[in-house]
């Protein structure tokens, strides 16, 4: 994420694409927050978001807000998170920007996990996120939702269903072994293998 965002910023500075430079700043800030878990770095994300907002960047609001929420979840600063997710839903309805809807639904599940301290209440959100992502033919979003759903299923011992869901989502992405989402899914797949009962005798 950091490498891509820094390249984006460099290209935008060279070409004079100020709005996309701000998006790159949000992406870079979010990457640093997630990697470090340091709440003090949230200011970098918010400053870039404010800069983008001054340029009338409502067209990118769902994406930008999603980055803020990801950073909030990484640092535990959750007070305004649900309100931000509601805002994204409202903007999606008003503008037709539904490309972020699957991620928004997954983030609702992530928020539920963070608030409750367990995955029990989040499963419904992850299932809905998978359905939306598949309807939008967004394999990466479907894989992220499937990974979180599989983790919830494993928490209650549903190894066979977790394995099946993960395999189906992973199969939709060719290669990708260097991607964090793919590596996380494959690591979880290894732990989701159904346990075979030993043969008697």
Residue 201 lies in a domain: no
DSSP state of 26: H
Instruction: State residue 200's pLDDT score.
Output: 54
| Alpha carbon distance 196, 50 (integer Å) | 54
Q: What does the pLDDT look like over 80-116, one tens digit per residue?
A: 788 878 877 887 788 777 878 899 999 999 999 998 8
Same-domain pairing of 180 and 139: yes
The last residue of one of the domains, among 69, 96, 123, is 96
Q: Who's near 47: CB < 8 A, 6+ residues apart?
A: 25
Q: What does the pLDDT look like over 3-47, one tens digit per residue?
A: 777 787 888 888 888 877 887 887 788 888 888 888 888 788 778
The last residue of one of the domains, among 49, 76, 96, is 96
Same-domain pairing of 129 and 170: yes
Its domain, for residue 13, covers 1-96
Instruction: State residue 201's pLDDT score.
Output: 47
Q: 77 burial class (0-12, 13-18, 19+ CB within 10 angstroms)?
A: middle
The last residue of one of the domains, among 41, 62, 96, is 96
Residue 199 lies in a domain: no
Assign residue 174 the CATH number of its domain.
1.25.40.10
pLDDT tops 80 at residue 58: no
């Amino acid at each position: 994420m950091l490498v891509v965002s820094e390249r984006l910023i460099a290209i935008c500075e060279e070409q004079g694409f100020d709005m996309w430079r701000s998006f790159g700043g949000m992406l870079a800030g979010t990457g640093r927050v997630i990697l470090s878990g340091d709440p003090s770095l949230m200011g970098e994300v918010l400053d870039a978001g404010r800069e983008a907002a001054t340029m009338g960047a409502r067209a990118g609001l769902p994406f930008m807000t999603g980055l803020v929420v990801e950073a909030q979840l990484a640092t535990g600063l959750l007070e305004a998170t649900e309100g931000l997710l509601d805002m994204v839903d409202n903007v999606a309805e008003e503008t037709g920007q539904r490309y972020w809807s699957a991620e928004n639904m997954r983030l609702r599940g992530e928020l539920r996990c963070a608030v409750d301290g367990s995955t029990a209440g989040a499963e419904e959100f992850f299932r809905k996120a998978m359905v939306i992502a598949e309807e939008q033919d967004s394999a990466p979003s479907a894989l992220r939702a499937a990974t979180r759903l599989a983790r919830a299923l494993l928490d209650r011992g549903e190894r066979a269903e977790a394995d099946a869901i993960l395999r189906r989502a992973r199969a939709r992405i060719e290669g990708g072994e260097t991607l964090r989402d793919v590596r996380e899914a494959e690591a979880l797949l290894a732990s989701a293998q159904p346990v075979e009962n030993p043969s008697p005798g």
